[in-house]
Structure 1
């Protein structure tokens, strides 16, 4: 056996170890988007397993954002007073290699049974401070339109709810699921339904994905974008500009750019906060305000999301401010509201 064959066998063995720890699935739609001749293909990097996932660091966690500590009943995460996550399922059509819930999702992971779903909806109904329910998982749009319609109708019957939010990758990873039945299910109640689309690279917006997004927006469902800052995928001003321009051109407003969570085996994707802030500075002033998401850190341990973008204004002892413009020049500002 030659060195090349041994290396190949070692790589295959490593990938088998990755698959034994973390779920792997790539839809036929995504498989068709991968360029096998490009070793830096941004689609492949997001979805194909990598031996680097076997490397874990002391600071990485099995539950990096503290879901479990804020789960009063199965399927509910209640971290903020006015909103809850409702995790219908723990499976997805694809498994992102950087997923912060990678320890909890995958084949064999159980979704909510009938009694558990009843208990979860009852919890929401018994807490009038809850104004927003966020369907997540797993990916909630992997369920059938019939089941999704049932859940949305039951949530619509809770008077104090104002908004139902859906977090999904489906429109860009399995766009055929966004058919007339799915759209009808999303519109089956009177409460506002918003969809947060997870996409990380402009190449995800192929014609089939664009058509799925158009179907949602034309049906009156507002679509926001959320992305994860990923080394080797979108860690340059050009890549982020292309991504956010593509979103906005397809009527998707960039909402969040997430700093990478401390999930096990994901260090090869993670940038420093300083690198992320510098990238956000490069966007400000060079691209439309429509393209500016909030750069967000989900504080490890379940302490919530906070903006961590660069600061442009610093106070001075005399009550005035030093303000930086988008091109890095400093300016003096006398605050007229200060006596």
Structure 2
């Protein structure tokens, strides 16, 4: 009996997890996120005290200009930034877990570029399209970009590998970017598209927040429900199938969740990359390889990174704003080069 039990336990993959650290990250991260949101609301062309922010949130007075600034401009911007960070980070965590590819990221695998190309077509042919429909076209573009990347990467001899997939993503993204710029030049929408490609939450309104939050919230809830299956899948398709998992169904569900969250995020703030690359790696290094902890920690840290980047964008060169995508790229590009070099050594 003991021999059978030992053999059974030996056949199960052992997962290295740090639940205590994960709980600390969640509690501390949420507290830091709340403080970051308050700071984001108070910082800007018109500096507002934190006490005024508190009063505006809980005792709103429409006759006060600062209260109007907080409710109509600062608060939706801060909330949108946090939601976008959550969407990109959780999308990246799902992609890395399902594909076992450390270079997987919505920006690197064509999702951002695909969404951008379709949005450029929408700006050109349907300039009055409401945001509620624009977000659906963003989903379609994200799916097209991802399909092209996997199609191109699969043609290579030897099949897909992390580096080949990243190279295919770079090639497809460059193609879609060139097509988007061609559409922008021909239809004279370059300024609108340039603002979108720079990335940022400036000008975000409550309407965008109301439309975006159900998609992001639903995607995160779905990712949490799927997290155990993603953990098993991250061990390899053969092990997952041996444990009775329907790998094809899990991958389809994960792909849909990724497209929903990344598509909603891209449609709202533009092509901001590397959040989905960096944050899941940080979470995995801190809490271990169990995606039941990686996904919620990625959500909290992703939202925090985006909020801090938005604060930095307003403080570097006031009263002008630095593109958020450029700030995050300062972290993401060196991190990507490090990962690519490490993966090359394993080929």
With normalisation by structure 1, the TM-score equals 0.24
Higher helix share: 2
With normalisation by structure 2, the TM-score equals 0.23
